[in-house]
Structure 1
Amino acid sequence: MAHSLANANRYKNMLDNLTTAIVVLEKNLAIRYLNPAAESLLETSMARSTGLTFGDILLDSDGALRTLRKAAETGRSYTRRETEFLLASGSRRIVDYSVSLLDENPIALLVEIQPRDRLLRISREEGLIAQQETTRTLVRGMAHEIKNPLGGIRGAAQLLDRELSEGQREYTRVIIEEADRLRNLVDRMLGPNKALKLAPANIHEILERVRTLLEAESKGRVLFKRDYDPSLPEFSGDKELLIQAVLNIARNAMEAAFESRASQRNEAKTPTITFRTRALRQVTIGPRRHRLGCRVDIIDNGPGIAPELRQNIFYPMISGRANGTGLGLSITQSIIGQHHGLVECESEPGQTDFIILLPLEATS
């Protein structure tokens, strides 16, 4: 008996560490087991799924439920490619899945689900990381080429300032101030260059600090919605830098929502920003896989980002606003990258979603 339990625990540990979503169903499609990858894919958990059937969390998209019932009735195995799963939450997933009969008493179904968009997402994330590294290299090279002559110009202006009369020093001081301004701009393009001050951090505390700051700035003109996952644990991070990163995104979101309201002259459309957090299990961020991660969505109801800008918004000096510097998102990507995370963006008219992915475990 003890040996049997040990084997069962070993198999459960193996399933829990798979990136493939595994679902075990009773013959009537009642849920018996979900591994962490399935919990993440189906936006549910074993605790919440107790007493539910697969049909309670999955709407009958592309006849998936009919296929499962047929497998239970006939005992045959089935494989379906590029099937759309419509979840009860409203989310959609394009997946490949296989269903087979487990030789158990009572009969159970084993469903293996592989998201089709997972490889595309990993490829996109690796592209973002490569883009970030390329940007850093270019900016470092440019900073070196700019700051060296700037130092010479500033030094020469200081020497000249000593030789001129008080009335003529106005011009040398303009040169010195402009040289300092350009140097500061280059430093901002480089982003944070200090070592992270790692300490236990809570993502909700960070979001609440940002919300408080923006509520004060907006003077009550923005509606803030919160949809937090209370199960998220603390993680090791630089709290002040993370506040800056989130604030850069949320402030952009607030300005976009204001611009949308002004351009449409629609006073009834309240500028709205939603902060949402979710735990992710067995999540891949770029090339790395993590047992536990966090997804933060910062969503605004602004006009959206123009398609021609969407692929380049994390480059320095790229901005969709006339008064924007184009540095905020680049700095944010750099800060999140230092925490081994990533920032993505999905946008359409009326909704822009900036997605922050962070690992919630120690990363070497």
Structure 2
Amino acid sequence: MSINRVTPSPLEQTVVDHLSTAVMLFGADLCLKYLNPAAEMLFQFSARHVVGLYAGNVLPCPGTQVERRLRDALTSRHPFTERELNVVLLDGRTITVNCTVLPLHHFDADPEILVELHQVDRQLRITREEHLLSQHQATQALIKGLAHEIKNPLGGLRGAAQLLERELPDPGLREYTRIIIDEADRLQALMNRMIGSNRMPTRARVNIHTVLEHVRGLISAEFPSGPQVLRDYDPSLPELSADQDRLIQAFLNIARNAAAATGARGLVQLRTRVLRQFTIGSRRHRLVLLTEISDNGPGIPEEIKDQIFFPMVSGHPGGSGLGLPIAQDLINQHGGLIECESRPGDTHFYVYLPLEPEHA
């Protein structure tokens, strides 16, 4: 393909800069000459730090000889498209993209090569998140309905046991009515935990690292012999509008599971980052706070991976199965979402919270 190379007009430059598709331009030496803001956002690096680097350093694709494929395209002058290509980001995450490579040969200049990347796992993630949110809302509605139906006869049962206790002539028999009353109270407390609080979050300006440090202190007190808790915080993060007590409870539920899974010799890491132009469910946010809680425990059993946010589902013997559903509900109240990836020796919980003001 041969085209005349001309200097782009301001309008053309504006169009390329505002494309949602990542665009990168490499010279004949396969050094990066330009990338648009969408590419900066996709790879999470600044143009001034990567312009001039070789293609293999900018496009880390495991199992793919990037520079050889680009050089072949320059030689043959034939464009090509690679679908569902895995690209490793600076933070270790892997994204899936469709990659189109277009050689540009000019009459009066050295050839160049244009690379266009379209992230395909983003739409899959949005669909998964929407399903997760609707699933959680349906579950909560079902639980609240069941709790309402259970609480009424439970109150009558407790009241009848109290009346019976007063009428029993033998004090020794009151032990049995006391068991009925105590079990009714236990079930009542369980119902209250399952349906959560009806009160709206009391929002104030909150530093996420203050929340995480409080959680770290609680975990250290609860598990004095370990695991080791590492921190990787982004000190530039702004404060967010949130209910601090509810955030502490949500993160504590996740971190407690991680600590219990890893044991004394395990490792738990708390990590914070900011994401730009990020979608939670179907809503796109300018800034999103990502808090990651990871551990090197045995991982979540395969048979319950898709059910961990359902009440009464637990991978720990004797677990109540309420910690993660409650955490998801508390984060949902802030417009956020919790996601999980797990395999043996490597489990990650990702907590996404919008950083916009509440009224935005």
- TM-score, scaled to structure 1: 0.84
Please tell me whether residue 81 in structure 1 is matched to residue 83 in structure 2: yes
Aligned 8 A contact 2:61 2:86 in 1: no
Aligned 8 A contact 1:25 1:33 in 2: no
2:34 equivalent in structure 1: 32
- Could you tell me how far apart the structure 2 residues matched to 1:350 and 1:158 are? 51
Aligned partner of 2:298: which letter? Answer: P
- What are the ranges of 5 or more consecutive residues in structure 1 without an aligned counterpart? 262-269
- Could you tell me how far apart the structure 1 residues matched to 2:166 and 2:153 are? 20
Question: 1:219: how far off?
Answer: 1.8
Partner SS state of residue 297, structure 2: coil
Deviates more, 1:90-99 or 1:341-350: 90-99
Identity %: 47
Aligned 8 A contact 1:58 1:88 in 2: no
Question: 1:6: how far off?
Answer: 7.5
2:46 equivalent in structure 1: 45
Partner SS state of residue 95, structure 2: strand
Aligned partner of 1:353: which letter? Answer: H
- What do the CA deviations read for 1:159-192 (whole angstroms, capped 9, x no partner)? 3344445825444333222211111101101123
- What do the CA deviations read for 1:63-116 (whole angstroms, capped 9, x no partner)? 433444455667664432222324565543321022445999997654321122
- What are the ranges of 5 or more consecutive residues in structure 2 without an aligned counterpart? 1-7
RMSD across aligned C-alpha pairs, in angstroms?
3.0
Distance 1:22 1:251, change over 3 A: same
2:3 equivalent in structure 1: none
1:307 equivalent in structure 2: 302
Partner SS state of residue 59, structure 1: coil
Question: 1:344: how far off?
Answer: 1.4
Aligned 8 A contact 1:302 1:350 in 2: yes
Aligned partner of 2:353: which letter? Answer: L
Aligned 8 A contact 2:164 2:177 in 1: yes
- TM-score, scaled to structure 2: 0.84
Partner SS state of residue 258, structure 2: helix
The aligned length equals 347
Aligned 8 A contact 2:56 2:66 in 1: no
2:275 equivalent in structure 1: 280
Please tell me whether residue 160 in structure 1 is matched to residue 164 in structure 2: yes
- Could you tell me how far apart the structure 2 residues matched to 1:12 and 1:333 are? 39
2:66 equivalent in structure 1: 64
Partner SS state of residue 320, structure 1: coil
2:208 equivalent in structure 1: 203
Aligned 8 A contact 2:212 2:251 in 1: yes
Deviates more, 1:205-214 or 1:50-59: 50-59
Question: 1:312: how far off?
Answer: 0.7
Aligned 8 A contact 2:44 2:90 in 1: no
- Could you tell me how far apart the structure 1 residues matched to 2:23 and 2:324 are? 37
1:231 counterpart (236, 247, 252)? 236
Please tell me whether residue 256 in structure 1 is matched to residue 261 in structure 2: yes
Partner SS state of residue 205, structure 1: helix
Distance 1:54 1:172, change over 3 A: same
Distance 1:105 1:169, change over 3 A: farther
